A and B are shown apart, each in its own frame.
Chain A
């Protein structure tokens, strides 16, 4: 990709962007589809502009961890496929994929968005474990926020499966009406500092020339459940204050799109 590393910060300093958007304007359309695959227990496909990601949930019954014998658990994994951009290669997840999955894991887990105790079937013996896989289809920038919406929508779309108490085997073909105990809707929004100004929903080009970024995971009551500062330049407390304000406002906007898709 050819990135105009001179023009983007210069324009941003004047509050302008290469594609003509406002600094705090998301690309359209923002679309959320759910139940897109029949083999997953819950799934979603999210589009923000050119960026498309799919998330799918698989459930399994496993022995709870010794320190939380009455709880199930979650695992989030991101696959940044070489199909979605020439920047990604086949093989084990690289830093960007690891960071996305870890920050989104905290966004959901620390918000206590899933009632893990309700996932327990038999204390000390059996609990539901939720594996969420994010797969990028086309990375046009801002995979972070798209993946966050996809995770939430896929979790909300998830229904439990029947299981045989004797064999402890899951019957993946027998759907139940019982939904995952999802109590909140936390979303992550990433705010970028470019040319001294702030912008959201970066294009792939903009993602290559920022000073700093801050990902903020927050729920509908504006409680923050995860933060991640990225980028090479430091930021001030004043920057954090402004970036969190922007992230909370944009999370509310994205949550409306999510609520409308339910």
Chain B
């Protein structure tokens, strides 16, 4: 194992400093904000509202539709041209699948709940931040939900299992795997699982076991953000201030 110390000095199970907020976009039915390190996601929920085109409508229940989009200046390197891409379409689809199991839209047949996610800046783990922010936004919108979904990018860098990989770690010159995971908080069931890189089955299972604790940390912040908005309590909604205090 050559990767004995992480590039930014974090512990292997330690996430980057996080900030979570609820209700930041007044026009939306609900909104959420989730920042982890230099990956920053704004999420807005509109609906339930009428779904067009009509052939997409489900007469049994409402559907959830996600729209993942990086701002043109949010990538390292050259400008990202605006518009739909295969990458963002796929991510939008897996976001829908990761959130759908906790959302109950049975009382809103033929309707849609739109979730829009935008990033001012990214440094790996953007689909995970999107899901974590979107879940805050759904709860803020008053959508009936069974539980919360929290998401973290797990990974393995040169034999070491790490939580919340950065871009530099993903690009590390060794065997690396990137495993975005989303979990339902109560049951620890997996609603998002992707992987790219190389990993053994043993390490994959170890990574997923480690994801439980990592997702719990995200969940705590999501809960605090919603509590801060709805109970008026001055919850500690950020781990950034703790970091600064160190």
Contact = CB atoms under 8 A, between A and B. Distances in A.
B56 to A, nearest CB: 14
Contacts of B116: 81-83
Contacts of A83: 25, 28, 42-44, 116-118
Given A83-B42, A135-B118, A39 B73 contact: yes
Contact of A82 (B67, B74, B76): B67
A107 B83 CA distance: 26
Interface stretch (A6-14, A55-63, A185-193): A55-63
A159 interface: no
A84 B73 contact: no
Contact of B73 (A50, A56, A85, A92): A56
Contact of A38 (B83, B118, B121): B121
A57 B42 CA distance: 19
Given A56-B74, A137-B42, A140-B26, A81 B123 contact: no
Interface string A125-136: 000000101010
* Chain A: interface size category: 35 or more
A262 interface: no
* Chain B: interface size category: 20 to 34
A82 B78 contact: no
A50 B26 contact: yes
Interface in B59-81: 67, 69, 71-79
B120 interface: yes
Contact of B71 (A52, A84, A133, A172): A133
B70 to A, nearest CB: 9
B229 to A, nearest CB: 16
The 6 closest A-B pairs by CB, nearest first: A56-B73, A37-B121, A83-B116, A40-B73, A58-B79, A83-B44
12 contacts: A37-B121, A56-B71, A57-B73, A58-B73, A84-B27, A84-B44, A86-B46, A131-B79, A133-B71, A135-B118, A137-B42, A138-B27
